[in-house]
Amino acid sequence: MIMNFDRFSGLPDNGTFTIGFTPSDTDNRLFTLGIWFASLPGDRTFVWSPNRNSPTSQEAILELDTTGNLVLVDKKVTIWASNTSNANVESATMSESGNFILHSTNNHPIWQSFSQPSNTLLPNQPLTVSSELTSSKSSSHGGYYALKMLQQPTSLSLALTYNLPESYQTFDENESYANYSYWQGPDISNVTGEVIAVLDQAGSFGIVYGNSSDGAVYVYKNDNDDAGLASAIHQSTPLTVLRRLTLEENGNLRLYRWEDVNGSKQWVSQWAAVSNPCDIGGICGNGVCKLDKTKTNASCTCLPGTSKLGRDGQCYENSSLVGKCTNGKNENKTSSFRISTVQQTNYYFSESSIIANYSESDVSSVSKCGDACLSDCDCVASVYGLNEERPFCWVLRSLSFGGFEDTSSTLFVKVRANSSWTPEGQEGRSNNSSSDGMGSAKEKAVIIPIVLGMIVLIILLTMLLYYSVHRKRTLKREMECSLVLSGAPVNFTYRALQIRTSNFSQLLGTVGFGSVYKGSLGDGTLVAVKKLDKILPHGEKEFITEVNTIGSMHHMNFVRLCGFCSEGPQRLLVYEFMKNGSLDQWIFPSIRGPDRLLDWQTRFDIAKNTAQGIAYFHEQCRNKIIHCDIKPENILLDENFCPKVSDFGLAKLMAREHSHVVTMVRGTRGYLAPEWVSNRPITVKADVYSYGMLLFLFFWCFV
């Protein structure tokens, strides 16, 4: 291999990073170009490489040609190029932070490796909205993983996605399959200006947006990080501690630090995005991921039409080629196929993979879910499970993102009728009878009672297990309902709220700190689930304390807090559902229709009862509460137009012996009291001012 920089003064050896060729991990006759830490003897872990998935022969050349283009050529074939021809490239340098840069004649950077990352992020290296980290491709099927900014209509977050191999992208020219996002960092909303993800020198990782003073959202924060993420913006200083953030081939994002372990220097993992390997989409290709007893190591089981190939043990090919529609007819002969059942198995899938979602009224039993797949020619498999003990059935056209163990689900796979495949661990039975006299009557007389006894034992154990599980679910549901009826807020899991809101599919509206979705509890009670977009500035203990404080208060003009979720980066609040929405929908002319005109008595009652609610948390609670954001959008109306004050996301608690509190500006412009903008101490009178503005708008808008 040759690196030809004769036209320039050459690359300086800064002692920290170097660029060169190393033998490929899979074949020592092939070579990979990359940048690695020069100061680590015996370790050549790449932090950047342009040809990880296409190693070269020993005849490869990396050179800056006469036009200023940096090219990697192997046997006269261009493998990679910087695309900087005729850009007046004059020199190439390696920065102390590991950034390989091509400079113009006036020393302006024309191209840099930091702007085209591979699978690793170094300290102070920005990851922009238009760039992404990508893992090496699977040697079995060509799938790969990516870390990128996931942009939603009102928010943005970092996300890990599994990207299908090119051969899997479409099986029909009219079909489209989206990639699968299996991990997301905290959401940020209402962002303006530049947005970048960055790893700082102290080992913290997150998103910085706007000017450096605007905001930073941490994905992982090192306890010893005093300077913060903003200090990493546009910095290029020598590294005192060697760190790297790498997206590995198995789909996990890990933060490593070079440390001394028992006298041996090595890379030590400090943080990982995913703790359960089976939570990673595609980790087994399109096979099923199973954890061992330690819950840390995973193995793969393949479905019909797939097989294990390659050192990574992943499943390749595609079972969804089975049973596709043919001859332009949207039907198939059910006699040509049969359903094979895989117990305790579920699958990851994108929205574009779903053919239908049947509820209890459509699919009343497990077997009918298999029949639904058998009768649909597009279906390759269906999944049956229970949602709060109510059955559901997903009919799927693709299993490309892989499966996982799930005790509450059953997978039905469509296979050809003449297929002998059975799920792993289940032996197929032969239909051929023996007629050669083998097996005496005496042997049969011994075997038959044993088999019958085992069948009876299995039935008894199954009944006992069913009773135990049913009993636990019943007790859990009764306890949950009793907590809701008693008024105590319930600590929900994030998965439970996903189920109860149909994966947050029914958006009711957006508020200052997040979005509100419609859902229902196990007893059918309708609720409004508020999903916070930002990690709160206080910690877990303070969040729980505030939830318990608000949840313990009860008043007829106060929206009741039914529960909450504080799991990982997720923060959600569950409120009682208000049928008539918020007050602004009934008073503003641009929103209300002719059927939304309230009579004067109803307006008076709403104004009076709202004042009673505000007076309650000002004067009658153990701790005074300053709401800080009284406005029509935060006054909700039930089916009888009884007003209820809501949205305490900006509220401030104050001991009764105190008359004021000093805090940062919070609230909505147009309803702010004068003391907010004059930096004076805030009292309950700030809410009274906002209520006065609300009254003005309330009655003026009806004139």
pLDDT value of position 521: 84
pLDDT value of position 158: 92
The helix/strand/coil state of 568 is coil
Contact call for residues 307 and 314 (beta carbons, < 8 A): no
d(CA 559, CA 583): 14
Over residues 525-531, the mean pLDDT reads: 89
d(CA 403, CA 430): 29
Domains contained in the chain, CATH given? 1-116 (2.90.10.10), 121-274 (no CATH), 286-416 (3.50.4.10), 490-576 (3.30.200.20), 584-700 (1.10.510.10)
Q: How confident is the model at residue 423 (pLDDT cuts 50, 70, 90)?
A: low
DSSP 113: G
| Per-residue pLDDT at 153 exceeds 90 | no
Lowest pLDDT segment from 331-340, 377-386, 487-496, 533-542: 533-542
Computed over every residue of the chain, the mean pLDDT equals 78
d(CA 351, CA 396): 10
d(CA 205, CA 469): 42
The helix/strand/coil state of 62 is strand
DSSP 620: I
Contact call for residues 405 and 344 (beta carbons, < 8 A): yes
| Per-residue pLDDT at 432 exceeds 50 | no
pLDDT value of position 363: 64
Q: How confident is the model at residue 502 (pLDDT cuts 50, 70, 90)?
A: confident
Does 441 or 283 have the greater pLDDT score?
283
DSSP characters over 507-565? EEEEETTEEEEEEE-TTS-EEEEEEESS--SS-HHHHHHHHHHHHT---TTB--EEEEE
DSSP characters over 415-478? EETT-----TT-PPPP-PPP-S--S-HHHHHHHHHHHHHHHHHHHHHHHHHHHHHHHHHHHHHH
pLDDT value of position 558: 84
**Residue found under tokens 């980066």:** 569
| Per-residue pLDDT at 78 exceeds 90 | yes
Over residues 392-408, the mean pLDDT reads: 86
d(CA 408, CA 463): 16
**Strands across the sheet containing 215-220:** 127-128, 195-199, 205-209, 215-220
pLDDT value of position 595: 61
DSSP 9: S
| Per-residue pLDDT at 8 exceeds 50 | no
| Per-residue pLDDT at 443 exceeds 60 | no
| Per-residue pLDDT at 482 exceeds 50 | no
Lowest pLDDT segment from 321-330, 466-475, 586-595, 657-666: 657-666
CA dihedral 258, 260, 264, 267 (to 10 degrees): -20
pLDDT value of position 436: 35
| Per-residue pLDDT at 225 exceeds 90 | no
**What is the pTM assigned to this prediction?**
0.58
Over residues 486-504, the mean pLDDT reads: 82
The helix/strand/coil state of 489 is coil
pLDDT value of position 664: 46
Q: Could you tell me which of 147, 142, 167 has the C-alpha nearest to residue 157?
A: 147
pLDDT value of position 321: 46
Q: Helix 685-700 vs helix 600-615: angle between axes, to the nearest 10 degrees? A: 170
| Per-residue pLDDT at 255 exceeds 90 | yes
| Per-residue pLDDT at 259 exceeds 70 | yes
pLDDT above 70 coverage of the chain, percent = 73
Q: Which residues contact 436 (CB under 8 A, 6 or more apart)?
A: none
Which backbone phi and psi does 325 adopt, to 5 degrees?
A: -65, 140
Q: Is 225 a catalytic residue?
A: no
The helix/strand/coil state of 290 is strand
Does 641 or 173 have the greater pLDDT score?
641
pLDDT value of position 50: 93
pLDDT above 90 coverage of the chain, percent = 18
Over residues 433-460, the mean pLDDT reads: 66
Q: How confident is the model at residue 243 (pLDDT cuts 50, 70, 90)?
A: very high
| From 225, 376, 629, 687, the catalytic residue | 629
Q: How confident is the model at residue 11 (pLDDT cuts 50, 70, 90)?
A: low
Phi-psi region of 323 (alpha: psi -120 to 50; beta: other; left: phi over 0): left
Lowest pLDDT segment from 62-71, 324-333, 498-507: 324-333
Q: How confident is the model at residue 24 (pLDDT cuts 50, 70, 90)?
A: confident
Q: How confident is the model at residue 634 (pLDDT cuts 50, 70, 90)?
A: confident
Contact call for residues 289 and 278 (beta carbons, < 8 A): yes
pLDDT value of position 531: 86
Over residues 186-191, the mean pLDDT reads: 79
Q: Which amino acid is at 676?
A: W
Helical H segments across 76-179, by residue range: none
Lowest pLDDT segment from 34-48, 325-339, 425-439: 425-439
What is the β-pairing status of strands 61-64 and 2-4?
A: parallel
Token readout for 653 is 């608690």
d(CA 378, CA 224): 54
